[in-house]
Homo-oligomer: A and B are copies of this chain.
Amino acid sequence: MTVAHAPGRPRDPGVDRRVAHAALELFGEVGWAGFSMEAVARRAGVGKASLYLRWSGKEALLSEALTVGLARVSDVDTGTLRGDLIQLAQQTLESYAGDTGRAALRLMLEGGAIPGVAEHYERVRQSQVLAARGIVRRGIDRGELPGTTSVTLLLDTLVGGAMTHALTTPADRRAQLATHPERYALRLVDFVLRAVVAPDAGGTEA
């Protein structure tokens, strides 16, 4: 899907981010069945007409919100494996503990079945998986990890651990985790890396 922009109209990144955030929050709460341009406009505090100047419809709006709000793994490249994994863990904690956590869960549930959004969601998901695998491959290439490392086990436990931690953190401490994910991210990365680099590691491909 391509996102329709009114030609020649300069865009305000602040407004775009606010709209994307409102769209993800709304989608998380009510799902596709309750998702409308009008409700997004109201929540973002912008006119419905101005939304239609920027996006052709709610499919395009939610598709772009996914890209802006959820897909940042591909930007991660700190130069070291540990640095990249810490960023990946922090992003996952922020995603699932923050305001967009419900949207991320709901996408897993409904994303593949929304006409006009499913294909875009699948592309975003695939590019996130590829980017995460790229982080580990670069670590192997730089000699930071054994060549026999199981990329799957490393990423399942790292991303899954961050996701589970965010989802099981009590509601009254979740916002704090979303704004300060550093401490848990660091402990999680060092825990998982220990499993990979330990002698006779079980974390190698069979």
Residues facing B in A122-140 (CB within 8 A) are 129
Q: Which of A48-56, A160-168, A173-181 contacts B (4 or more CB under 8 A)?
A: A160-168
| Residues of chain B lying within 8 A (CB to CB) of residue A6 | none
| The one of B150, B157, B203, B206 that contacts A160, using a Cβ cutoff of 8 Å | B157
Instruction: Contact check, B153 vs A188: say whether CB atoms are below 8 A apart.
Output: yes
A60 CB–B CB distance under 8 Å: no
Q: A102-B109, A161-B153 are in contact. Are A201 and B194 (CB under 8 A)?
A: yes
| The one of B153, B161, B163, B194 that contacts A187, using a Cβ cutoff of 8 Å | B153
User: By the criterion of a CB under 8 Å from any partner CB, how many residues of chain A are at the interface?
Assistant: 38
Q: How far is A33 from B158 in the complex, measured between Cα atoms in Å?
A: 34
New contact pairs (17) apart from A156-B165, A160-B161, A194-B194, CB-CB < 8 Å: A105-B108, A106-B109, A108-B167, A152-B165, A156-B162, A156-B164, A157-B160, A157-B188, A157-B192, A159-B164, A160-B163, A160-B164, A160-B165, A163-B163, A163-B164, A191-B203, A194-B202
Beta-carbon nearest neighbor of A190 in chain B: B202
Q: How far is A53 from B105 in the complex, measured between Cα atoms in Å?
A: 35
Q: How far is the CB of A159 from chain B (nearest CB, A)?
A: 6
